Every structure is written in structure tokens, then in C-alpha cells.
Amino acid sequence: MGKPLNIAITGAGIGGLALAALLARAGHKIKIFDQFETPEPIGSGLMLQQTGLAVLQELGLRQEIDALGTRIERLWGLTTPSMRPVLDVRYAKWQSEVYGLGVQRGLIFEALYRAASDAGVEFVLGTPVVDFDPSVPDLALGNGERVTGQDLVVLAHGARSNLTPPDQGVDLPYGALWATLPWPQDGPFDAAALEQRYFNAKQMAGVMPSGRLDSKSPDTLTYFWSIRAELEADWRASPLEDWKRDAKALWPETEGLLAHFKHHDDLSFARYRHHTSKHPVIGRQVVRVGDAWHAASPQLGQGANMALLDAWALAQAISQTSDISDALKTYLKLRRGHVRLYQIMTWMFTPVYQGDSQVLPWLRDWLAAPFSKLWPAPQLLAAMVSGAIGSPLKRLGLR
């Protein structure tokens, strides 16, 4: 490695924190800028795949997170009223040692935040970045100040940041209501599976085991309910019992979970966006990672894992050369193919399981689902969900 670099990162999300920890450990001077006064996780429980877990292993965090997450062996979905299986992904069909890990977002956030802080990362909080100049590069802050003298600016903000061009990508029609609830010890749910129920593609309920925040906390699950984004306000204005009646009709076994909801605010709403930036590298010294480069629906469970892979790839590229421009070219070479592949697959899969089409769910239920049981479909589905298609771990030198 050459001389230590001054690097600014916009956003204290999973990708930004992981990158900051990796670069600071390598001796670089890192500043993270975030609009919140106190960094905190945003969003529901998530699934870590073998790709994200491999990066956490390199960060020395996998053992801790593994111990508190819930090992998921299967993704399992039925359509009503026929109760036909329309989704059945078993990781063991791909490799016996591969699994998903259901975690609370706060668990991975706290581990990465601690790793970045311990590595000497400086946090500039309560100060949104409102613009950047790629030719310098420097940042314009919301308080009128400018941050200059950076060797590299990394855009690691969310998909809806003001730093994302408004004409880039599209808002997906369906989002999800979600809540984290105690795991019912004697309940009807599989503790090693993400389970879902569908009515066509317009209604979807999901239950995902999401582990614990710490060793003293109880096990949890994350409950999801799909809803068109423009109907969220109507949902909040309608009696909660009306929605509970629909949710129970779709999946009667969730009645005990629905009893936890006394007010509409007991559920949060997540809106999804799909975009892939045409310019992940801007100029010679500005680069995008995670959702700032590629955002998608959570149908394949890749968001956090792709951000972790981006962080690892960029850190490795910087470690190989003192020339920033060359490092960014290497970063794109390492990640562009895998990003394109999963963006395409997610774009294709999303309307099959969350959308208004009548034809796609019919094809899913009566054609795709039966064929998915035939070799080599089970192996390919498991490899796809695990993030393994495109061999990203081999390309990045990860175990």
C-alpha cells in the first residue's frame, strides 16, 4: 500500500460501515458523513447469504453474528386457496454447508459500527451531504460547509438519497408492512425456514426467523405483508381489524402474530426501488457502493450481501495500487458482472411474486413451480438465492 488516503464516505449503512472498517484497518483516514444525529439501522430483518457472511468472516464478525442469528435452511411458500407449493428453495440442494442467516438489522449494524469505531473511523453526524463535486472531489454539507482535500469520495447513501439522480430507476409498485415480534415457542412456524403465503401476487405474507440482538434477548421473527405503495395511506386510515381479517384469511396460522398489533404504527412501511447507476464511478475520484449503485426489491434477499461484497471489492482494489483511478477500474472489473446478473434476475422475479398480473402467478403456480422440482432447477435456485451464481467469492478471493 502507498501513502494513507483521506477518504470520505456518505452514509452509515451496512456497506458504508463495512468499507470504513476495512479501509481504516488498512491505515487510511476515514470520515463517514450521515444525516442522523445518532447512527441507527433502518429497515426490517434481513437474510445474510454465504456472500455477505464471507465478508463478515474477514472482518472478524461472523462468529458473533452467527451465534445470534437464526440459521435458515429453506425458503418455502404456498399459494392460497389451493395450498400448492410455489416456492421451495433448500440450500442443501446446492451445498450441504451453505445456509441463510436471519438477523435483525440492528445486530449487523451494531457489529459493523463498533468495528468501524474501533478502527478509528471519524463520524460526522447530523450533517447531511447535499451535493458533491467529482472534479475535486469535495462535498457540500447541509450546514453550508464544504469538505475538501479528499483523495476519494465513496457514495454509500440509500436508494432514495438526494445524491441519487431523480431520473435514475423506478419506484416499485409494491412495498411491505413489517414488524419484529417475539418468536412463538409453541407456534406453527418452522424455525429453520422463511415461510410465505400468496394469493396470486397481490397479497403476500411472510414470516422470517430473525434471531436475537444479544445473548439476553429473546428470539424474534420478522413479519411482512405486501401492499401497494399508494394504498398505505388508505390502510392507515381504515380500521386495523379489517386488515387483520384479510391477513388471517390468507394465513390463519398467523392469528397469534396479528394479536400483537394494536395500532397501525405497530407496523412500519418499506418502499422499494429498482435502479442500477450507469456511472458507478464518477470522474476519477468518486465511486458508488451498495444501494447508491444498485438497488432492488428484496425478493432474492441480496441487498445487504451485495453491499458487503462491494465494500470488500473496493477495499481490495485500493490495497493493490496507490493510483485511485486504477483502483476504481479494478473495483468495477470485480463487481460489475455480478451486480448486473443479480439486478436482472431480481427484476424478473419480483413481479412473479409481488405484482398485479393475473398471468404471471398462474404460470408460476401451474408451470414454473412443478418444473422447479426437476433437476437441475433445485440446485440452481439454491445457488441463486445464496448469491453464488457468477462465482463472486472466487473472484474476490473470499472463502
More confident residue, 198 or 159: 198
Is 1 part of any domain? no
pLDDT interval class at 158 (50, 70, 90)? confident
Is 119 part of any domain? yes
pLDDT at 132: 95
More confident residue, 29 or 36: 29
pLDDT at 195: 98
pLDDT at 44: 82
What confidence tens digit (pLDDT) does each residue in 162-179 have? 888 877 889 999 999 999
Please check the confidence at residue 194 and state whether its pLDDT lies above 60: yes
What confidence tens digit (pLDDT) does each residue in 304-359 have? 999 999 999 999 999 999 899 999 999 999 999 999 999 999 999 999 999 999 99
Is 223 part of any domain? no
More confident residue, 69 or 369: 69
pLDDT at 168: 80
Please check the confidence at residue 98 and state whether its pLDDT lies above 60: yes
Average pLDDT, the chain: 95
pLDDT at 182: 96
pLDDT at 320: 95
Average pLDDT on 100-121 reads 97
Q: Domain containing 279: what range? A: 6-42+109-170+275-396
Is 151 part of any domain? yes
pLDDT at 137: 95
**Top-ranked range on mean pLDDT: pick from 169-173, 246-250, 371-375:** 246-250
Please check the confidence at residue 1 and state whether its pLDDT lies above 70: no
Please check the confidence at residue 2 and state whether its pLDDT lies above 80: no
pLDDT at 105: 95
| C-alpha gyration radius of the chain | 21
Could you give the number of structural domains in the chain?
A: 1
SS3 assignment for the chain: CCCCCEEEEECCCHHHHHHHHHHHHCCCEEEEECCCCCCCCCCCCEEECHHHHHHHHHCCCHHHHHHHCEEECEEEEEECCCCEEEEEEEHHHCCCCCCEEEECHHHHHHHHHHHHHHCCCEEECCCCEEEEECCCCEEEECCCCEECCCCEEEECCCCCCCCCCCCCCEECCEEEEEEEEECCCCCCCCCCEEEEEEECCCEEEEEEEEECCCCCCCCEEEEEEEEEHHHHHHHHHCCHHHHHHHHHHHCHHHHHHHCCCCCHHHCEEECCEEEECCCCEECCCEEECHHHCEECCCCCCCHHHHHHHHHHHHHHHHHCCCCHHHHHHHHHHHHHHHHHHHHHHHHHHHHHHCCCCCHHHHHHHHHHHHHCCCCCHHHHHHHHHHCCCCCHHHHHCCC
pLDDT cut 90: percent of the chain above it: 91
pLDDT at 38: 81
pLDDT interval class at 205 (50, 70, 90)? very high
pLDDT at 160: 81
We report the CATH number of the domain holding residue 24 as 3.50.50.60
Please check the confidence at residue 235 and state whether its pLDDT lies above 90: yes
pTM over 0.95: yes
Is 76 part of any domain? no
Is 75 part of any domain? no
pLDDT at 208: 98
pLDDT at 165: 80
